[in-house]
Structure 1
């Protein structure tokens, strides 16, 4: 999961190892070669040495000191009361790692004739937009240059980083794809589409607060029942529709199964339009 890759591993690894300026060697267990390959660029910037797979190693390694485990602060973030580092530092580190060109989002009016770029993160299996063409047309009519992206396992992280960094607004339904906001230029805007299910606190914890810590602007859009695919499966008076908290009482697995794994969104473009207009207003500031 892309979110947990960054939140649970990459950012904690950065917090733990950045102090050594590359003079540190990573010793790993339960190695996953695909993961190492995905984040090879970041790992190479944090350590000048080859990674040691301790499960396969037969040699004895001697170090003057060792840190076992990683320093984790909170979801997708760094607590500055516990570290001299910040998410601003981390994002600058990512820009250098992937040679990203843009440090700041467009300010409309300063760059004549340039249209702000809106990146829509799409999904295929769940929490997907079922009317993406209609959303794209509406956004284009407001003056956005619209880009869509659906990263998969074969998409290089460098390619994703370049695409995201080229955009001024990123929007998507609550999910791992929004993690890519780490590559946005400063002052860019994140729009989180919050699906049905009373997951407001989760949405805030996972993406709203991290976006603010990254010096990004944040907007959200909470869908109505009529915009959820669940309305075609359950009657309007069903507890899943009218009382999501009753599902929460059944535990996280029930919430995830119903509201995250089995829900798609047909965005009401007329109702959503003011959110995109608000983003344009912010890009004028």
Structure 2
């Protein structure tokens, strides 16, 4: 039966013709899939698809596709490039472009989808990483090495033709920070609280047990990020059945208020910064912004959380 076990064959059938936002998954069981790294072209047998030629951006969400390089899928039986290297395990092609550099997007659009897509193979596949970023690969090397036991291929420095017995192009995406368990088989963060000690004291006075570790803290809201906070944190929490309480800061609670002044567009009209593009908005609203929380206002939200916990406990 060659390199493919019965389980692998069934797996490929499950992945065949899978489509996600902005990318597609394709595979071949019986004939070689050839990847020309120089031209970023994947040659698959004609019997595997009805489309003779198409471009795919192997990234799971549509928003940052302008930052992702296209891969060309070609159905061809003749005039194929010769194989420089033959592999006996399948390949997963994906891009580490997009919004890498932002911890949320790295986890939501790469690490989680990568786990969802590759977990089935139990590390027996190779990664071809388009838009290869060495710093990103190094940052997540421990995770990546658990998902693939083989050396990664960077097409930008390896322009040869590699042949595989099967291929997956793109990553599955279940939703924002989401894992659909029915489909899963058996660095430092930006933005910090500058008055962390006051917040800890207030939480402890309310009766919360607080652990202050040496790691960064993930903030769900900041000036200019209301939409992102609600959609990236609130909505996934609600979909998981978790009660979500949102705390929206006042302008004075952002260090941007002191940096730019109360009348600057960064404070009065944050969306005017976002229309300049993601990189411009990130440089100000994410990388440059810290939070000085009003502990009295925030305490009111925490008091609500405490009541919800107590009410839930009384029902058990």
TM bracket (short chain): 0.5 to 0.7
Residues 49-94 of structure 1, C-alpha deviations (whole Å, 9 max, x = no match): x22434599xx9875432233223443224x6xx942xxx69xx8x
Shift of 1:146: 0.9
Judging changes above 3 Å, is the alpha-carbon distance between structure 1 residues 17 and 144 closer, same or farther for their aligned structure 2 residues?
Answer: same
Matched, 1:51 2:150: yes
- Indicate the SS of the match to 1:7: helix
Shift of 1:201: 1.5
Counterparts of 1:113-192 in structure 2, within 5 Å, are 127-151=191-215, 172-173=218-219, 192=220
Counterparts of 1:1-285 in structure 2, within 5 Å, are 1=101, 2-20=103-121, 22=122, 24-29=124-129, 30=132, 32=134, 34-35=138-139, 37-39=141-143, 44=146, 50-54=149-153, 64-78=165-179, 84-85=182-183, 127-151=191-215, 172-173=218-219, 192=220, 194-197=221-224, 199-284=225-310, 285=312
Cα RMSD of the aligned pairs, angstroms, is 3.5
Residues 85-106 of structure 1, C-alpha deviations (whole Å, 9 max, x = no match): 2xxx69xx8xxxxxxxxxxxxx
**Unaligned 5+ runs, structure 1:** 94-121, 153-170, 174-191
Total equivalences in the alignment: 203
Find the aligned partners of 1:132 and 1:234 in 2 and give their Cα distance.
23
Find the aligned partners of 1:254 and 1:84 in 2 and give their Cα distance.
39
Find the aligned partners of 1:277 and 1:142 in 2 and give their Cα distance.
7
- Indicate the SS of the match to 1:146: coil
TM-score by length of 2: 0.53
Find the aligned partners of 1:254 and 1:265 in 2 and give their Cα distance.
20
Partners of 2:191 and 2:289 within 8 A in 1: yes
Shift of 1:212: 3.1
Shift of 1:36: 5.2
Find the aligned partners of 1:34 and 1:252 in 2 and give their Cα distance.
24
Find the aligned partners of 1:54 and 1:243 in 2 and give their Cα distance.
44
Find the aligned partners of 1:276 and 1:13 in 2 and give their Cα distance.
35
> Larger % of helix: which?
1
TM-score by length of 1: 0.58
Judging changes above 3 Å, is the alpha-carbon distance between structure 1 residues 243 and 68 closer, same or farther for their aligned structure 2 residues?
Answer: closer
- Indicate the SS of the match to 1:147: coil
